[in-house]
C-alpha cells in the first residue's frame, strides 16, 4: 500500500501543455501529478482520513504550490537559455544558398560593304568583315574573318549573306562555320542559284559553347566563281546592302 505520508509529484509549470500535441493525450508530467493525488486520496479512503492527517495533505499541496511558484519565478531564465540553444541550433543548420551569378552581356554586330568572290571553285574561303556596328566583348580580329569572344559562354551566331549570280547557268553555294580553324561537323548549308542576277539571301543561325579567346569564321565555297557574296549600293529610297551581316550574343544562359 502506498506510503500515506508521500507528497504528490509537484505540479507542472504552466509552460507545459496539458495535452501532448504529438499524441493528443494528457501530458506525462500532468499524468504523474494526478496519479500521485489519486494515490494519496485512495490511501485516505482505505485507511481513513484521520490516518493520513489533514495537515499532511495540506503540506503536500503546499509543497506542490511552492515548487510551482519557484518554477514560475525562474521560468524567464529557462526560456532565455532555451531560446539561446534554439538559435544556436538554427544557425548550425542554416544553409545559405550560393549567390546568384549574373552573366555579363556579350554581343557584337558586324558587316561588310564589299563584294567577295571566290578565286577558285570547290575551295573554302573565309568571309571577311570591314565594319563593326556595336561590340562588347565580341570583336573582329586579324585576319578580319575571325570573330573573337572574351568570355566563356554559349553564344548565338546569326548571319545573313547576300548572294548573286553574275552570269547564266547554275551555281552552288556552300556555307558553314569554323571554330578555331576547325570545321563544325554537320553545319553546312547548300544553295543553288539559277540564271543571271539570281539574288538570294541566306540566313543561318547557330549556338556555340565557346571559351574566352575562341574565334569563329564563316566559310564558303562555290562550284562556279560567278556565284558571288554580293554588296549593293544604296539608292534614293533604300540603304546599301552589305554582303554579310553577322550578329553575336551570349544572353542564352541568363541568370545562374
Q: What is the pLDDT averaged over residues 217-226?
A: 97
CA dist 180 and 252 (Å) reads: 21
pTM, entire model: 0.61
CA dist 39 and 68 (Å) reads: 20
Using pLDDT thresholds of 50, 70 and 90, give the confidence band for residue 186.
very high
With 0-12 / 13-18 / 19 or more C-beta atoms within 10 angstroms meaning exposed / middle / buried, residue 66 is exposed
CA dist 146 and 215 (Å) reads: 6
Query: Which CATH class name applies to 107-249?
Result: mainly beta
For the chain, the structural domain boundaries read 1-96, 107-249
Q: What is the pLDDT averaged over residues 242-251?
A: 94
Chain-centroid distance of CA 169 in Å reads 55
pLDDT tens digits along 131-184: 999 999 999 999 999 999 999 999 999 999 999 999 999 999 999 999 999 999
Amino acid at each position: 500500500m502506498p506510503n500515506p505520508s508521500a507528497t504528490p509529484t509537484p505540479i507542472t509549470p504552466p509552460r507545459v501543455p496539458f495535452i501532448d500535441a504529438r499524441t493528443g493525450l494528457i501530458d506525462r508530467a500532468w499524468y504523474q501529478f494526478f496519479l500521485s493525488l489519486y494515490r494519496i486520496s485512495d490511501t485516505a479512503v482505505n485507511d481513513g482520513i484521520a490516518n493520513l492527517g489533514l495537515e499532511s495533505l495540506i503540506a503536500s499541496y503546499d509543497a506542490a504550490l511552492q515548487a510551482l511558484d519557484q518554477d514560475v519565478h525562474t521560468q524567464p531564465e529557462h526560456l532565455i537559455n532555451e531560446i539561446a540553444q534554439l538559435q544556436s541550433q538554427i544557425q548550425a543548420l542554416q544553409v545559405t544558398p550560393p549567390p546568384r551569378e549574373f552573366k555579363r552581356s556579350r554581343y557584337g554586330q558586324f558587316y561588310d560593304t564589299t563584294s567577295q568572290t571566290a578565286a577558285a571553285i570547290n575551295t573554302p574561303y573565309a568571309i571577311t568583315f570591314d565594319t563593326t556596328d556595336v561590340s562588347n566583348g565580341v570583336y573582329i580580329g586579324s585576319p578580319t574573318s575571325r570573330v573573337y569572344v572574351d568570355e566563356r559562354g554559349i553564344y548565338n551566331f546569326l548571319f545573313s549573306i547576300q548572294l548573286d549570280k553574275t552570269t547564266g547557268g547554275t551555281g552552288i553555294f556552300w556555307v558553314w562555320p569554323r571554330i578555331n580553324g576547325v570545321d563544325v561537323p554537320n553545319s553546312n548549308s547548300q544553295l543553288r542559284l539559277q540564271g543571271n542576277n539570281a539574288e538570294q539571301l541566306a540566313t543561318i543561325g547557330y549556338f556555340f559553347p565557346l571559351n574566352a579567346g575562341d574565334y569563329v569564321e564563316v566559310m564558303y565555297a562555290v562550284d562556279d566563281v560567278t556565284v558571288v557574296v554580293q554588296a549593293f549600293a544604296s539608292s534614293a529610297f533604300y540603304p546599301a546592302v552589305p554582303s554579310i551581316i553577322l550578329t553575336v550574343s551570349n544572353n542564352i544562359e541568363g541568370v545562374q
